[in-house]
Structure 1
């Protein structure tokens, strides 16, 4: 497998990344029309952490982390390293030494569609990571791959410089051209949810606030007393 290392790709504006960092993955995914989520297989090795940054992408051969070494050189302040493989792999391709090098360069975290190890050390370092698997299985450094090319995880295309947002709920990608618009939409959605939250605290029901009684009626869902319901089965 040959490959390419692309240098200095365009990145989302730092102020737009920081604006998106104020919102959770679920809010951002909803603001984009329920798109951008990288699936349920990527899970955090820590809890209570949210990060946002620009993607540096890696396409590696399974069980081979050579291109992660190459990618470190391309990483900088505010980036998130995003790694996938040419076919499914759960080998532990990333660990504490990689995290040390990336943290030194200002990288905010890792998303890897493969295995990770040294998870206790990564938590102690406060280096956040989301992975497909946790595995002590080591890797080799023998096969070419690519850095900063479009990759696909969970059916979503991630380009270098796109915004990655990750928290306890998972990971979402925001195309760099849509970062500002998505931050604005996320803010509007959160304001709407705040109004609903206040209404629910006052005792209002979702059935009434969202007009769902008419939906139930349209779908033919009827109310019955227990006696009526029990009598229908007689």
Structure 2
């Protein structure tokens, strides 16, 4: 059985442009959820942001992904759940080429990819657990398109904001990102002047408060 829900409208270019300024690691200073742990770029990847279009594959059946590829609009990030399958690649030369023609901003797979030379040539950033020569098949058995998926411990809903760079991937509700944006931007903006202070001799523990935290709870050990 295939469950197909409406395709989310891509988030506004203004929002995704702001999001592309923010590193996932900066979000990691604020949130402890929404991160796809263990997923890393298998192609060259600069930071990008986009709108989650979700796919769940079942067993070795890649049918739902081929269907979803035709639903992709510019700015969508195709987010693929593969259950416990850590062996088979769901994205290779033809799927990545089709997604590049549709304007996909990225591909996130909780599983494997293949055909690395083609993936690189097509230019859509691909994040996965690794590479495999074993692939899915078109079986017509089961799958979901645009329903919530589980990606490396993160629950991803269609329409979620995706931010990815070589350090990792984070999924955020767009309205939550909007409420956090100024704080995240401020966190990033403080790094260059903070480095200058350290260069001038300010101690790291004084700059960010670790010294005071230790003083409040220190127990000195005499040896």
| TM-score for both structures, normalised by structure 2 | 0.91
Structure 2 gaps of 5+ residues are: none
Contact 1:10 1:160 in 2 (8 A): no
Q: After TM superposition, list the pairs within 5 Å mapping 1:88-107 onto structure 2.
A: 88-107=85-104
Asked if 2 retains the 8 angstrom alpha-carbon contact of 1:16 and 1:183, the reply is no
1:31-70 matched pairs, under 5 angstroms: 31=30, 33-39=31-37, 41-47=38-44, 49-70=46-67
Q: Specify every segment of 5 or more residues in structure 1 that has no aligned partner in the other structure, as ranges.
A: 224-228
Structure 1, residues 80-131: CA drift from partner, whole Å, max 9, x if none? Answer: 1000123333201110111111111110110000110011221132221110
CA deviations on 1:59-85 (whole Å, 9 max, x unpaired) are 111222111101111110011100012
1:199, distance to aligned residue in structure 2 (A): 1.3
1:19-168 equivalences in 2 (<5 Å): 19-31=18-30, 33-39=31-37, 41-47=38-44, 49-142=46-139, 143-168=141-166
Does the Cα contact within 8 Å between 1:12 and 1:179 map onto a contact in 2? no
SS in 1 for 2:97: helix
Secondary structure at the counterpart of residue 218 of structure 2: coil
Cα distance in 1, alignment partners of residues 216 and 176 from structure 2: 37
CA displacement 1:145-169 (0-9 Å, x = unmatched): 1100011112221111111111111
Deviation at 1:10, TM superposition (A): 4.8
Query: Residues 221, 213 of structure 1: CA spacing in aligned structure 2 closer, same or farther, 3 A cutoff?
Result: farther
| TM-score of the pair, normalised by structure 1 | 0.87
**CA distance change for structure 1 residues 140 and 169 in 2, over 3 Å: closer, same or farther?**
same
Per the alignment, residue 226 of structure 1 pairs with none
Q: What is the aligned residue count?
A: 222
Aligned partner of residue 108 in structure 2, secondary structure: strand
* 1:80/1:107 contact within 8 Å kept: yes
Runs of 4+ in 1 over 6 A off after TM superposition: none
Structure with higher Rg: it is 1
